[in-house]
Amino acid sequence: MEFLPLRNFPIVKPGDNLPKLIVETVEKNNVSLEEGDIIVVCQSIVSKSEGRIVNLKKVKPSRLSVALAKKLGKDPREVEVILSESSEIIKIAHVIISRTKHGFVCANAGVDRSNAPPNCVTLLPENPDESAKKIRDFIRKKLGVNVGVIITDTQGRTFRLGCVGVAIGVAGVKVLDDLRGKKDIYGKKLVSTITSPADAIAAAAVLMMGEADEKTPVVIVRNAPQSVFGESKCIELVRPKEKNLFV
């Protein structure tokens, strides 16, 4: 596979036509999109284009938010936003682990100060799969090519340090590849192996994007295996509560 980062992407503002900006930046990088490419887009520019930005100066924290903020050493206004984006609080430690309204379990409900304007935080897109589909549909209509789209965010892991990119929205890409029943090199049947092509590609693409700036928020992935493509939704990645051993 090839990973082709789109350099010098413009700063995205609320109301911007993100699919159009992607196509224009592709042209500026002297790259052409090809049939079967996968476009990996970082969550923050999707959120910005969709107006998913909150000015903390306009947030009035509740008593609960003030108490939690004191315990966590966080801004109570930010805690208020985190609680408003959560459907369930899973654990409170040095961060708030919550279930978002999408069903994802992550730190701080995906609320993030990184790459947000001063005194602001970004929220996850309301429907990341639909956001990915809009990008895919625009490119198909504009350029006549079928591409896959992955919207990625960075998240920590339960028993490992360091954040990695994960898929939070997809269009035309399989989030899971069930290998159970297939045989290994010794002919033994696999009984529990299920991989996540979308997360694997997201993690690799985030290496090209970086974390400190937003000049490379889009990466084109070329020559991905055919097994990666298919229709799915990112909620399929969430482990059912009854099978979650760590909360």
Within 58-216, where are the H helices?
A: 63-72, 76-84, 128-143, 197-209
- Alpha-carbon gap, residue 152 to 62, rounded angstroms: 31
Domains 2-51+125-237 and 54-121 alike in fold: no
CATH homologous superfamily of 2-51+125-237 equals CofE-like (3.30.1330.100)
Closest of 163, 219, 173, 223 to residue 196, by C-alpha: 173
Give, as one character, the DSSP assignment of residue 194.
Answer: E
Residue with more model confidence, 148 or 8: 148
Query: Do 217 and 209 form a contact (C-beta atoms < 8 A)?
Result: yes
CATH homologous superfamily of 54-121 equals CofE-like domain (3.90.1660.10)
pLDDT digits (tens, 9 = 90+) for 182-227: 888 888 898 888 889 999 999 999 988 875 556 789 999 999 998 8
- Alpha-carbon gap, residue 46 to 243, rounded angstroms: 31
pLDDT at 107: 92
Give, as one character, the DSSP assignment of residue 160.
Answer: S
pLDDT at 246: 67
Q: Helix 76-84 crosses helix 63-72 at what angle (to 10 degrees)?
A: 120
What CA–CA distances, in Å, run from 196 to 63, 133, 200, 229? 41, 19, 6, 12
**Across residues 154-171, what is the average pLDDT?**
90
pLDDT over 90 (residue 38): yes
pLDDT at 218: 96
pLDDT at 24: 95
pLDDT at 37: 97
pLDDT at 211: 57
The mean predicted confidence, pLDDT, of the chain is: 92
Domain extents in the chain = 2-51+125-237, 54-121
- Alpha-carbon gap, residue 141 to 131, rounded angstroms: 16
pLDDT digits (tens, 9 = 90+) for 76-102: 999 999 999 999 999 998 889 999 999
Beta bridge partners of 20: none
pLDDT at 127: 96
Query: Do 88 and 97 form a contact (C-beta atoms < 8 A)?
Result: no
Q: What percent of the chain has pLDDT over 90?
A: 74
- Alpha-carbon gap, residue 177 to 137, rounded angstroms: 24
pLDDT digits (tens, 9 = 90+) for 116-152: 889 999 999 999 999 999 999 999 999 999 999 999 9
**Residue with token string 């399989």:** 174
pTM of the full structure: 0.93
Burial (CB < 10 A; 0-12, 13-18, 19+), residue 123, is buried
pLDDT over 80 (residue 168): yes
pLDDT at 111: 95
Q: Taken in order 77, 52, 124, 160, is the CA torsion positive or negative?
A: negative
